[in-house]
Amino acid sequence: MLKEITILPGLDKTGIIEGFSEINLKAGETVSIVGPTGSGKTAFITDIELMAQEDTSTRRRVLVNGESPPDEIRYNPAMKPIAMITQNTKCFADLSTEEFLQIHARARGITDNKVIFKTIDLANNFTGEKITKDVKVTVLSGGQTRSLLIADALLIGAAPIILLDEIENAGIFKQEVIGIIENTGKIIIFVTHDPVIALLTQKRIIMENGAVKKVLIQSDIETRAAQNLIELDKRVGSIREELRAGNVITNEMFSVNFAS
Ligand SMILES: Nc1ncnc2c1ncn2[C@@H]1O[C@H](COP(=O)(O)OP(=O)(O)O)[C@@H](O)[C@H]1O
Ligand SMILES: [Mg+2]
């Protein structure tokens, strides 16, 4: 049973020790990692993925429930409590979506096939390009693949920690993802450049020069700001759809869509 993970400080890119004593992430928490390109965001979540023990370039240590994880947990994929989905994650098996999910479900001892179709439905909430049960996983687009794997991690996978590296760049409806992932009891960590995701997560870790610079806790004002941003995002989205459909933006549409 995973209750929390602890990240102990490593070294920044110039070899100086990071300025925090420890970072605790508890089951059920949502976290975002923000900072400029090259600041060490992917390295940070990769440390979690590997459950680093001062054996990565950052020299960080990751504890599980307050202790160094045994090698069995670190190196046995079936025991590993972590699912990581990046822009490069692909499915290689020559299987249909349904078969792919079926194999994973069976491996997890799930016999009820309903979960397969629930997972495909959920994935379809995350992407506008419809995923069918018969399509081969190898021909799914980037956005479809990520959507399927997130849905799979949420409904079939048992991993209590989910790491998502810049999924918003992958044709995924991020608001739907955030809506679903709240209250899963899992630790969900987003590496993100998206202000809505950054504001909707409970903790925000700021990276700079390979090091954690700050850990911020979400405030009520930020939660409200995020709601406003979601509205704004939707308006931008609807204008985008109008433009895509070849329509001209009229004064009226503009005031209808943007007044308030
Ligand atoms: N603390 C660190 N010490 C040494 N190298 C680091 C450290 N953090 C990041 N790096 C390296 O710096 C490069 C950029 O880091 P990366 O995590 O990919 O940045 P980001 O995801 O923020 O764009 C990578 O090659 C990474 O291995
Ligand atoms: Mg990165």
Ligand 1 centroid, distance to 113 Cα (angstroms): 41
Distances (CA, A) of 178 to 30, 78, 117, 184, 202: 9, 26, 21, 11, 12
User: What ligand is nearest to the CA atom of residue 46?
Assistant: 1
Query: 90-158, which class in CATH?
Result: mainly alpha
Q: Do domains 1-81+159-218 and 90-158 have the same CATH topology?
A: no
pLDDT tens for the chain, residues 1 to 260? 899 999 999 999 999 999 999 999 999 999 999 999 999 999 999 999 999 999 999 999 999 999 999 999 899 887 889 999 988 877 778 899 999 999 999 988 998 899 999 999 999 999 888 999 999 999 999 889 999 999 999 999 889 999 999 887 667 777 788 777 777 899 999 999 988 889 989 999 999 999 999 999 999 999 899 889 888 888 887 888 888 889 998 877 666 544 44
Ligand 1 centroid, distance to 208 Cα (angstroms): 10
Nearest residue (CA) to ligand 1, atom 13:
38
Residue 155 DSSP SS3 = helix
How is the chain split into domains, by residue range? Answer: 1-81+159-218, 90-158, 220-260
**Residue entry with tokens 């409806």:** 173
- CATH superfamily entry for domain 1-81+159-218: P-loop containing nucleotide triphosphate hydrolases (3.40.50.300)
Ligand 2 centroid, distance to 43 Cα (angstroms): 7
Ligand 1, CB within 6 Å, residue ranges? 10-13, 35, 37-43, 57-58, 207, 210-211
* Gap between the Cα atoms of 256 and 260, Å rounded: 9
Report the nearest atom of ligand 1 relative to the CA of 191: 21
User: What ligand is nearest to the CA atom of residue 44?
Assistant: 1
CB 203 within 8 A of CB 30: yes
- Residues, CB-to-ion distance under 5 Å, ligand 2: 41-42
